[in-house]
Amino acid sequence: LTAVAAGHARGTAAEAPRLAVVAALGRALDQITVQQKGQSLSNAELITELNSSEPSVVDMALSRLAARHNAAVLVPLKSRLPNTDPDIAQQTLGYLVSLNDPRAARFIIDAAEERSLAFRIEALYALGSLGGDEAEGYLFTLTSAPDVRVRSVAVEALGLAKRTASGTPRS
Protein backbone atom coordinates (compact mmCIF):
# COMPACT_ATOMS: atom_id res chain seq x y z
CA LEU A 1 0.00 0.00 0.00
CA THR A 2 2.80 2.41 0.84
CA ALA A 3 4.36 1.71 -2.54
CA VAL A 4 1.07 2.54 -4.25
CA ALA A 5 0.90 5.85 -2.39
CA ALA A 6 4.50 6.63 -3.24
CA GLY A 7 3.88 5.85 -6.90
CA HIS A 8 1.04 8.35 -7.02
CA ALA A 9 2.75 11.03 -4.97
CA ARG A 10 2.73 13.34 -7.98
CA GLY A 11 -1.07 13.01 -8.33
CA THR A 12 -3.56 15.85 -8.27
CA ALA A 13 -4.70 17.68 -5.16
CA ALA A 14 -8.01 15.80 -5.39
CA GLU A 15 -6.13 12.52 -4.94
CA ALA A 16 -4.29 13.72 -1.83
CA PRO A 17 -6.86 12.50 0.75
CA ARG A 18 -7.04 9.05 -0.85
CA LEU A 19 -3.27 8.82 -0.96
CA ALA A 20 -3.00 9.86 2.67
CA VAL A 21 -5.43 7.08 3.65
CA VAL A 22 -3.52 4.53 1.58
CA ALA A 23 -0.24 5.60 3.20
CA ALA A 24 -1.78 5.44 6.69
CA LEU A 25 -3.16 1.97 5.99
CA GLY A 26 0.26 0.88 4.80
CA ARG A 27 1.89 2.10 7.99
CA ALA A 28 -0.79 0.37 10.08
CA LEU A 29 -0.26 -2.87 8.20
CA ASP A 30 3.50 -2.62 8.76
CA GLN A 31 2.89 -2.05 12.47
CA ILE A 32 0.56 -5.05 12.74
CA THR A 33 3.13 -7.21 10.98
CA VAL A 34 5.84 -6.14 13.44
CA GLN A 35 3.55 -6.78 16.42
CA GLN A 36 2.60 -10.24 15.11
CA LYS A 37 6.26 -11.12 14.68
CA GLY A 38 7.00 -9.97 18.22
CA GLN A 39 4.51 -12.35 19.78
CA SER A 40 6.55 -15.37 18.79
CA LEU A 41 9.99 -14.02 19.72
CA SER A 42 11.82 -15.14 22.84
CA ASN A 43 13.08 -12.63 25.38
CA ALA A 44 16.62 -13.03 24.04
CA GLU A 45 15.41 -12.32 20.49
CA LEU A 46 13.45 -9.30 21.69
CA ILE A 47 16.53 -7.96 23.48
CA THR A 48 18.43 -8.26 20.21
CA GLU A 49 15.64 -6.31 18.46
CA LEU A 50 16.30 -3.37 20.80
CA ASN A 51 19.28 -2.59 18.55
CA SER A 52 17.17 -2.39 15.40
CA SER A 53 17.34 0.71 13.23
CA GLU A 54 13.55 0.50 12.76
CA PRO A 55 11.72 2.49 15.46
CA SER A 56 8.62 0.29 15.17
CA VAL A 57 10.70 -2.83 15.83
CA VAL A 58 12.36 -1.26 18.87
CA ASP A 59 8.97 -0.13 20.15
CA MET A 60 7.53 -3.62 19.70
CA ALA A 61 10.48 -5.15 21.59
CA LEU A 62 10.14 -2.64 24.44
CA SER A 63 6.41 -3.25 24.65
CA ARG A 64 6.73 -7.05 24.69
CA LEU A 65 9.61 -7.12 27.17
CA ALA A 66 7.85 -4.69 29.53
CA ALA A 67 4.66 -6.76 29.38
CA ARG A 68 6.75 -9.83 30.21
CA HIS A 69 8.24 -7.93 33.20
CA ASN A 70 11.76 -8.33 31.80
CA ALA A 71 14.12 -5.95 33.59
CA ALA A 72 16.39 -5.82 30.53
CA VAL A 73 14.29 -2.90 29.30
CA LEU A 74 14.89 -0.65 32.30
CA VAL A 75 17.95 1.11 30.86
CA PRO A 76 16.56 1.46 27.30
CA LEU A 77 13.35 2.87 28.74
CA LYS A 78 15.24 5.28 30.98
CA SER A 79 17.07 6.60 27.93
CA ARG A 80 13.74 7.29 26.18
CA LEU A 81 12.28 9.46 28.95
CA PRO A 82 14.18 12.64 28.02
CA ASN A 83 12.88 12.37 24.44
CA THR A 84 11.41 15.66 23.28
CA ASP A 85 8.53 13.87 21.54
CA PRO A 86 5.78 13.86 24.18
CA ASP A 87 4.16 10.76 22.67
CA ILE A 88 7.35 8.73 23.08
CA ALA A 89 7.85 9.97 26.64
CA GLN A 90 4.24 9.19 27.52
CA GLN A 91 4.45 5.76 25.91
CA THR A 92 7.64 5.10 27.88
CA LEU A 93 5.82 5.89 31.13
CA GLY A 94 3.27 3.24 30.20
CA TYR A 95 5.98 0.68 29.51
CA LEU A 96 7.67 1.44 32.83
CA VAL A 97 4.39 0.93 34.67
CA SER A 98 3.63 -2.32 32.84
CA LEU A 99 7.15 -3.54 33.67
CA ASN A 100 5.93 -3.55 37.28
CA ASP A 101 9.44 -3.08 38.67
CA PRO A 102 9.80 -0.74 41.66
CA ARG A 103 13.19 0.43 40.32
CA ALA A 104 11.28 2.19 37.53
CA ALA A 105 10.00 4.71 40.10
CA ARG A 106 13.41 6.42 40.28
CA PHE A 107 13.50 6.90 36.50
CA ILE A 108 9.98 8.33 36.48
CA ILE A 109 10.73 10.66 39.39
CA ASP A 110 13.90 11.96 37.76
CA ALA A 111 12.08 12.60 34.49
CA ALA A 112 9.19 14.29 36.29
CA GLU A 113 11.59 16.76 37.88
CA GLU A 114 13.14 17.68 34.51
CA ARG A 115 10.14 17.96 32.19
CA SER A 116 7.04 20.08 31.71
CA LEU A 117 4.17 20.32 34.17
CA ALA A 118 1.97 18.28 31.82
CA PHE A 119 4.51 15.45 31.79
CA ARG A 120 4.97 15.72 35.54
CA ILE A 121 1.27 15.20 36.08
CA GLU A 122 1.30 12.13 33.82
CA ALA A 123 4.35 10.86 35.71
CA LEU A 124 2.52 11.24 39.03
CA TYR A 125 -0.33 9.07 37.75
CA ALA A 126 2.24 6.55 36.48
CA LEU A 127 3.85 6.46 39.93
CA GLY A 128 0.45 5.90 41.49
CA SER A 129 -0.15 2.96 39.17
CA LEU A 130 3.33 1.57 39.79
CA GLY A 131 3.19 1.91 43.56
CA GLY A 132 6.00 0.94 45.88
CA ASP A 133 7.79 2.70 48.70
CA GLU A 134 9.78 5.15 46.57
CA ALA A 135 6.76 6.14 44.49
CA GLU A 136 4.60 6.59 47.57
CA GLY A 137 7.28 8.63 49.35
CA TYR A 138 7.67 10.98 46.39
CA LEU A 139 3.91 11.36 45.97
CA PHE A 140 3.53 12.06 49.68
CA THR A 141 6.08 14.88 49.52
CA LEU A 142 4.13 16.44 46.65
CA THR A 143 0.86 16.46 48.60
CA SER A 144 2.12 19.78 50.00
CA ALA A 145 3.53 21.14 46.71
CA PRO A 146 2.98 24.85 46.01
CA ASP A 147 1.19 24.17 42.70
CA VAL A 148 -2.42 23.22 43.39
CA ARG A 149 -2.56 20.97 40.29
CA VAL A 150 0.50 19.00 41.38
CA ARG A 151 -0.85 18.78 44.93
CA SER A 152 -4.24 17.53 43.76
CA VAL A 153 -2.81 14.91 41.41
CA ALA A 154 -0.28 13.78 44.03
CA VAL A 155 -3.09 13.16 46.52
CA GLU A 156 -5.06 11.19 43.93
CA ALA A 157 -2.01 9.21 42.75
CA LEU A 158 -0.97 8.46 46.34
CA GLY A 159 -4.42 7.00 46.96
CA LEU A 160 -4.01 4.85 43.86
CA ALA A 161 -0.56 3.69 45.01
CA LYS A 162 -1.95 2.72 48.42
CA ARG A 163 -4.82 0.78 46.81
CA THR A 164 -2.28 -0.94 44.56
CA ALA A 165 -0.16 -1.88 47.57
CA SER A 166 -3.16 -3.27 49.46
CA GLY A 167 -4.23 -5.39 46.51
CA THR A 168 -7.40 -3.39 45.93
CA PRO A 169 -8.23 -3.37 42.21
CA ARG A 170 -7.31 -0.20 40.35
CA SER A 171 -10.23 1.85 39.14
Ramachandran bin of 151, using left for φ above 0, alpha for ψ from -120 to 50, beta for the remaining angles: alpha
> Angle formed by the axes of helices 117-130 and 133-142, to 10°?
140
Sign of the dihedral defined by the CA atoms of residues 89, 94, 99, 100, in that order: positive
pLDDT tens-digit map of 61-93? 998 999 999 999 999 999 998 878 888 999 999
d(CA 121, CA 128): 11
Reported pTM = 0.73
pLDDT tens-digit map of 86-131? 889 999 999 999 999 989 999 999 999 989 999 999 999 999 999 9
